[in-house]
Chain A
Amino acid sequence: MIKHLFKLIWNKKKQNFLLITEIFISFLVIFGVFTSLVYYYRNYKKPMGLTYNNVWVINFQNNKQFHNTDSVTQYYATLTAMLKNMPQIKTLSYASSNIPFTSSTSTTRLIYKGQEIRPINFYRVGDNYREAFNMNLLEGRWFNHDDVVSSNRPVVINASLKESLFGNGRALGQLIDDSHDDKHVRKIKVIGVVQDVKDKGDYLPSGMAMYNRVDTSDMRYIGKLVIKVSPDADAAFESKLYKAVAGYMKEASVEIEHFSKKRESTNRSTLIPIIIFSIVAAFLIINVSLGIFGVLWYNINRRRGEIGLRRAVGASGGSVSGQLISESLILTTFSLIIGVFFAIQFPLLNVFNMAASTYVMAMFLAVAFIYLLVFLCSLYPGRQAAAIYPAVALHEE
């Protein structure tokens, strides 16, 4: 039966060529849309890894001229002490500019056992950073004041980086060459592992991350102060805080932002392009399905004689419409074979650095979607064919 249908289609390959091309291109478009949807959805399902409510950041661009490192340390210690005196501030930590929900990134690489691992997000953060964001510590510990004197540079890594570096092995206490240290004297020492943090918003992956302790020499370039406030900290407090900070840092321009707001705007800038892309794709697909519907409908009208004959020799209405629907589904199969051949190159060549399973899932969804679309488009023409009366159809000839 199926073999026979193949033959029918093959005999009309020239006529069907355009239809196959069209379904093929639609498949690629749908594959693209589903890949991004699956990608964003899978990221969305992962835990956030931090709490952002009641966490604020003070951005400052300090133009103050410092004479030496000691004066920098002294300057910021005074600010810290001043802020700690405010009862609404629970904890605070200085940080490099790549705090959560900003577009700023800083990446580095590590070479471990001859293997280069990159890109690794590189954060400089303070001792209370984990506490401010309530990050989930999986193993070991976070930084504390004793780390100033440690001979190796202590770092905290996230679960993804642990996975790429050590697999299932032990991470704590491991030493890694420091690519920032030209003399290869100091090594990096892993002191803790934290859960992955989706710091580019709900829909983007966390990537590998390495947290480093802000030291006194970094303070000159620091421009972010993360603070965790109590729930009763309102706009009046914020205004008071602002006056205090701006009053202290006379040479800086100061801005206070809330992480809950920053998260919203980061998510929006991820979602808007994908929504536009999906709407455009949806219109393309409606367009194509109307086209396929029209062409199938017309084809059936042209084959009235053939269908009439089949009915006359005893085929039921159901089997006639079944034949027509199967024909279009087989046609779809041809296109999908070509389509899948191209789509499978994406995971094979590792384009765009996405997990192979994302592509595979998107491929299955796209195949199912196209089959469903063609099935729906041929349903009505098929039923029309079933309604053909042999006497009328054969009479026309």
Chain B
Amino acid sequence: MLKNYLKIAIAVLRRRKFFTFISLFGISLTLTVLMVLAAFIEKVTNPVYPGDKNSRSLYIKRLTYTSKKGWINSGGSSFYFLTHYAGSLKTPVKMAIVSRSTSSNAYVNNKKIVIDIKYTNADLWNIANYQFIEGKPFTPDQINKADRVAVISERTRKEYFGDAVTVVGKYIEADNISYRVTGVIKNVPEIEEVFYANMFLPYTVAKSDYRNKDFWGDYSAILLSPSEQLVTKMRTEYEQMVTRIPIPDDMKKDFDTLHSDADTYFETFTRGFFGNADNAGYARFLFFMSLFILLFMLLPTVNLVNVNITRIMERSSEIGVRKAFGASSKTLVYQFITENIILTILGGIIGLILTVIILQVINGSGLIPDFDLSINPLVLLYSLLACLFFGLLSGVYPAWRMSRLDVVTALKAQ
């Protein structure tokens, strides 16, 4: 049966090449746009390099005070706050504390180099899987002694030292201070805010004193749970802990609640764009995303429905004959939907090829440095679902119209 449908579908496709072209053009481009979008979202929200333990991690990024009067004040957390409170949790096996990056300059042979610096503790090297091209991370011992040591990125090595073969042990100057290089890592895309920097330094050499007892500061934390199952437990534990944290005296005048959340990597994004201190914004993100996709697909769908109806009317004699010989409406609807899905899958394959080409172009253009977009199995799965959805959506109405065609008029039409 299915084989027959397939044969008919291919015959129909070859009959009116112009209409086939219109349908395939529309389907493939729509799916291309969706697949490129999916690849982007996938890349942004899933830091494969260097966040390979992402599924076991939670991120504490912002510290927000709110008051009943509607005032909101938000910032990063201090090193003291994170070690003192998040550090006392039982579940996490490791906790990285990393500052946000600040830009600094270095001048080599009268050429300016911008270096983004992050201060970190030693656990970052255990939680994140940075690839060391040479050398190794600085040790807890070096951190405790406040040694001026640095891990730099491949790009900074190239800009600062040129194509020197090995730089471990050499000195690099930033902010007018010399640091000894202990290792060089593969570049991290800037969009992975928590992990990105061109130069990592021990938190003990930071210019802002890490012993400062203010709650606000420049730091974020990454909590690593022993297993994926315990992530939820870790989150609940932190939530309960935050409710017990006393609000500092100088904040009590204006604010009555302190918020600090341990979010998944994805939620750190959705909270920033769609959420607030109380709400991670995950549901809102899904809602807006689906709304956008629906709106975006509306036009190509209506177009495809329109073209499909035109094509059906062309086949009215065929439908009339089949009906006259006793085919039920249901059979005809199935047939037509199958044909349409075959068409969309064909369009999907073309779309996939286009997507691969476009992603190559984006990667090659260097528009976003170190950003390597690719189609992974998850994106493929989404695309396949989108194909089926699209096929059904644009096939149902024309099929319904077709099945209602009157036998007599259908046969008379030609």
- Listed in ascending order, the chain A residues whose CB lies under 8 Å from chain B are 18-19, 21-22, 25-26, 29, 59, 61, 63, 234-236, 238-239, 242-243, 246-247, 251-256, 280, 283-284, 286-288, 290-291, 294-295, 298-299, 302
Contact = CB atoms under 8 A, between A and B. Distances in A.
Given A287-B26, A291-B26, A255 B303 contact: no
Given A61-B208, A284-B300, 7 more contacts: A21-B302, A242-B105, A252-B207, A253-B117, A287-B22, A294-B307, A298-B313
Given A235-B111, A239-B107, A283-B33, A253 B175 contact: yes
Nearest to A248: B176
Interface string B96-140: 000000111101001110100100000000000000000000000
B300 A287 contact: yes
A336 to B, nearest CB: 16
A19 B117 CA distance: 57
Interface residues of B, number: 38
19 contacts: A19-B306, A22-B306, A59-B103, A61-B208, A63-B209, A242-B105, A246-B175, A253-B102, A253-B207, A254-B175, A284-B299, A287-B22, A287-B25, A287-B26, A287-B29, A290-B22, A291-B22, A298-B313, A302-B313
B207 to A, nearest CB: 5
A18 B102 contact: no
B19 interface: yes
Nearest to A283: B29
B104 to A, nearest CB: 5
B167 interface: no
A286 B28 CA distance: 13
A393 to B, nearest CB: 15
Contacts of A61: 102, 207-208
Contact of A298 (B33, B175, B300, B314): B314
B310 A295 contact: yes
Contacts of A291: 22, 26, 303-304, 306-307
Looking at B29, B102, B300, B306, which has the most chain A CB atoms within 10 Å of its CB? B306
A253 B307 contact: no
B287 interface: no
Nearest to B174: A253
Interface string B340-362: 00000000000000000000000
Contacts of A238: 107, 112
Contacts of B21: 290
Contacts of B313: 298, 302
Interface in B295-316: 296, 298-300, 302-307, 309-310, 313-314
Contacts of A235: 107, 110-112
Contacts of A18: 302, 305-306, 309
A303 to B, nearest CB: 12
Contact of A22 (B114, B117, B207, B303): B303
B325 interface: no
A57 B36 CA distance: 38
B103 A255 contact: yes
Interface in B268-326: 296, 298-300, 302-307, 309-310, 313-314
A239 B110 contact: yes
Contacts of B304: 291
A256 B33 contact: no
B18 interface: yes
Contacts of B104: 253-255
A128 to B, nearest CB: 23
Nearest to A291: B303
A302 B110 CA distance: 75
Contacts of A239: 107, 110, 112
B207 A251 contact: yes
A230 B296 CA distance: 51
Contact of A243 (B18, B176, B299, B302): B176
Contacts of B175: 246, 253-254
A23 to B, nearest CB: 10
Interface string B76-111: 000000000000000000000000001111010011
A19 B314 CA distance: 17
Contacts of A251: 207
Nearest to A256: B105
B106 to A, nearest CB: 9
Nearest to B310: A298
A293 B226 CA distance: 61
Contacts of A287: 22, 25-26, 29-30, 299-300, 303
Nearest to B304: A291
Contacts of B111: 235
Interface string B194-218: 0000000000000111000000000
Contacts of A29: 299
A240 B391 CA distance: 65
B40 to A, nearest CB: 10
A29 B297 CA distance: 12
Contacts of A255: 102-105, 114
A255 B296 CA distance: 43
Contacts of A22: 299, 302-303, 306
B303 to A, nearest CB: 4
B331 to A, nearest CB: 25
A61 B22 CA distance: 58
Nearest to B368: A272
A294 B22 contact: yes
A294 B310 contact: yes
Closest 9 CB pairs between A and B? A239-B107, A246-B176, A291-B303, A235-B110, A63-B208, A255-B103, A287-B26, A290-B22, A18-B306
Nearest to A240: B107
Looking at B26, B30, B305, B314, which has the most chain A CB atoms within 10 Å of its CB? B26
A19 B107 CA distance: 63
A345 B300 CA distance: 25
Contacts of A242: 105, 107, 176
Contact of B110 (A236, A280, A286, A294): A236
Contact of B105 (A25, A26, A254, A295): A254
A324 B304 CA distance: 23
B209 to A, nearest CB: 7
Contacts of B310: 294-295, 298-299
Contacts of B30: 287
B305 A290 contact: no
A17 to B, nearest CB: 10
Looking at A26, A59, A239, A243, which has the most chain B CB atoms within 10 Å of its CB? A239
A251 B176 CA distance: 11
Given A243-B176, A253-B175, A290 B33 contact: no
Contacts of A283: 29, 33
A168 to B, nearest CB: 36
A21 B300 CA distance: 12
Interface in B39-62: none
A254 B112 CA distance: 13
Nearest to B19: A294
B271 to A, nearest CB: 18
Contacts of A234: 110
B302 A294 contact: no
A252 B110 CA distance: 22
